Amino acid sequence: MRSDRIKKGIERVPHRALLYATGLRKKELDKPFILVATSFTDIIPGHIGMRDLERFIERGICSAGGVPFFSGIPGICDGIAMGHLGMHYSLPSREIIADALESVAEAHAFDGIVCLTNCDKITPGMMMAAARLNIPTIIVTAGPMLSGRLGARRLAFVHDTFEALARAKKGEISAKELNCLEEEACPGAGSCQGLYTANTMACVSEALGMSLPGCATALAVLSKKRRIAEESGERIVELVRKNILPRDIMTREAFENAIMVDMALGGSTNTVLHIKAIAHEAGIDLPLEVFDKLSKSVPNICCIEPAGEHMMEDLEYAGGIPAVFKRLKNKMNNVDTLSGKTTYEIADEAVITDDNVIRTEKTAYRKEGGIAVLFGNLAPDGAVVKQSAVSLKMMKFTGKARTYNSEEDAMKDILGGKINKGEVVVIRYEGPAGGPGMREMLAPTSAIVGLGLSEDVALVTDGRFSGGTKGPCIGHISPEAAAGGPIAIIEDGDEIEIDIAKRKIELKISDSEIKKRLKTLKIIPPKITTGYLARYAKMVTSASTGAVVE
């Protein structure tokens, strides 16, 4: 066992002395040492229930003959970090999480790892570490939140808070109703109710084969999640004994399955960054073109908040990810998963209980998957859009640019009523290096929706979007402005053409004018020049490569 390096032989007398100090018994030295990497914190709703799940994971490990050790992993709540300095730290925290897990696991020579995670950057960060370390690992996501309630009306976090505040500014809802919404939208533990980044990444984890079947959608507050946690604790000991490694599971074919499930669900555009980053750690090349090719071949069979009115609880009760496997079986690769079952076996055992929540290919919401990858002179290295959340009217749009060099400047004009129909809001210098940190633009996109402009205004940015974003919002423009990308040379009044069906985004000026502007471009330096973010800005790569740090 890997842990023998800290517990076997006469030269390990000091090490054993320290292990005994923790209360370890001598007979436990012959058992696998299992790290439970828990991201419990009482400031993230998706993580506040983890103390309970930790107990059940511990029970599972002990019953299977392993020895559990717990270690904390940092986490950030994107919703709380949104719209201020905090969001600069969200994406960069993914690298800290991966590095922290690597450091703890290697320093203490653990035999296996259970990653207890849930929210936006924590899940991909842990999965990156799993691929990098290639130590037996299983992912346990803590589960989605129940929908909020206002009388008989179901509430969801983004629609009933971010979008509601813009409606309140227009006078469409009262201060009293807004107060009710903010108190009732998030009723308790769990990741926010829609197919935002946290829940999308949980689904990706299960689709990739790194979580037990049913884990992604099992609700945070229900006993099913406890049982999955305990089963995961048992399973990690089996994985150690059989030496089943993450890279045995995270193959190229498994990544294709995960992308197909993501496209069928209509998940967050952030998954493009995260799946590419996880694949990078696993030594697998996944160009942007792969995402677009698979999106064209897989129909969008689910329509979950923010694209539609269904919530994660509806997907759970309709059969969860195994039921999505069943719908996609003829397209998916038959590969092994950590559960010991293949994807086809999981699909065959699944039961679909609601044909509207998980539709057939013939009755799909859209013929193509949820995400489209665009190219053009404005994004030579690519850009992404959640096309499942764009109305058919706005799949093709041409408008005049309104340029902003920060999210804050754009928000002032959006909330100040200065954005007109037929315009394209351009927010730049918010990319991985330029931000630094590639902030999510949920506040501007939600304000545009709340003001009733989602079918008259587009948004283009080298930053990224929350999974809660809807409308014609094009993110991950690459190269970013800070790297001298064409987005940096857009001037107010320039025409921008967006054609999602044709996968095109164009700045409607001549090639000679583009060259002239690029030649005289003066790049704005990063907004933050001290601390971790300054180091991150120097090392982070383009969004088109997953914004990984090298």
d(CA 451, CA 164): 9
pLDDT digits (tens, 9 = 90+) for 437-485: 999 988 898 889 888 998 999 999 999 988 778 889 999 999 999 999 9
Question: Which residues of the chain, if any, have pLDDT below 50?
Answer: none
Token pair of 522 as six digits: 């003066």
What residues does 137 pair with on adjacent strands? 113
- Count of helix runs (H) and strand runs (E) in the chain: 21, 14
> Between 270-281 and 197-207, two packed helices, what is the crossing angle to 10 degrees?
40
* DSSP 8-state symbol, 23: T
Do the first three CATH levels of 31-146+188-349 and 371-545 match, i.e. the same topology? no
Which CATH number applies to 31-146+188-349: 3.40.50.2300, 1.10.600.10, 1.10.3720.10, 3.40.1190.20? 3.40.50.2300
> What's the whole-number average pLDDT of the chain?
96
Token representation of residue 141: 């996501």
Confidence (pLDDT) at 167: 86
Does 174 qualify as catalytic in the annotation? no
Using CA atoms, how far residue 402 sits from 28, 385, 461, 493, 545, in Å, is 65, 19, 12, 7, 28
Q: Where are the beta strands (DSSP E) in 448-536?
A: 458-461, 473-478, 495-499, 504-507
Q: How does strand 371-376 pair with strand 379-386?
A: antiparallel
Peptide bond connecting 479 to the previous residue in cis, omega within 30 degrees of 0: yes
Task: Map tokens 């800005």 to a residue.
Answer: 537
DSSP β-ladder status, 112-117 and 504-507: unpaired
Measure the CA–CA gap between 134 and 126, rounded to whole angstroms: 12
Contact between residue 275 and residue 286 where contact means Cβ atoms under 8 Å apart:
yes
* Single-letter amino acid, residue 111: D
**Which of the following is catalytic: 211, 339, 466, 544?**
466
Give CATH for domain 371-545.
3.50.30.80
Q: What is the pLDDT of residues 414-429, one digit of tens each?
A: 999 999 999 999 999 9
State how far the Cα of 233 lies from the Cα of 138, in Å rounded to an integer. 9
Q: Return the ∠ at Cα 32 (arms to 121 and 73), rounded to 5°.
A: 20
Strands 473-478 and 504-507: unpaired
Q: What is the predicted pLDDT for the residue at 101?
A: 98
pLDDT value at position 140? Answer: 98
Q: What distance separates the 2 farthest-apart alpha carbons in the chain? A: 76
User: Closest Cα partner for 474 from 414, 547, 401, 537?
Assistant: 401
* Spatial separation of the C-alpha atoms in residues 487 and 256, rounded to whole Å: 31
Cα(130)–Cα(528) distance, integer angstroms: 30
pLDDT for position 158 = 87
Question: Which residue in 58, 218, 204 sits closest to 131, CA to CA?
Answer: 204
Q: Is there a contact between 404 and 433 (Cβ–Cβ < 8 Å)? A: no
Which strand ranges, in their side-by-side order, compose the sheet holding 137-141? 67-72, 33-38, 112-117, 137-141
pLDDT, tens digit, for every residue of 33-64? 999 999 999 999 999 999 999 999 999 999 99
d(C-alpha 291, C-alpha 203), whole Å: 16
Q: Where are the domains of the chain?
A: 31-146+188-349, 150-184, 371-545
- H or E element in which residue 318 lies: helix 312-318
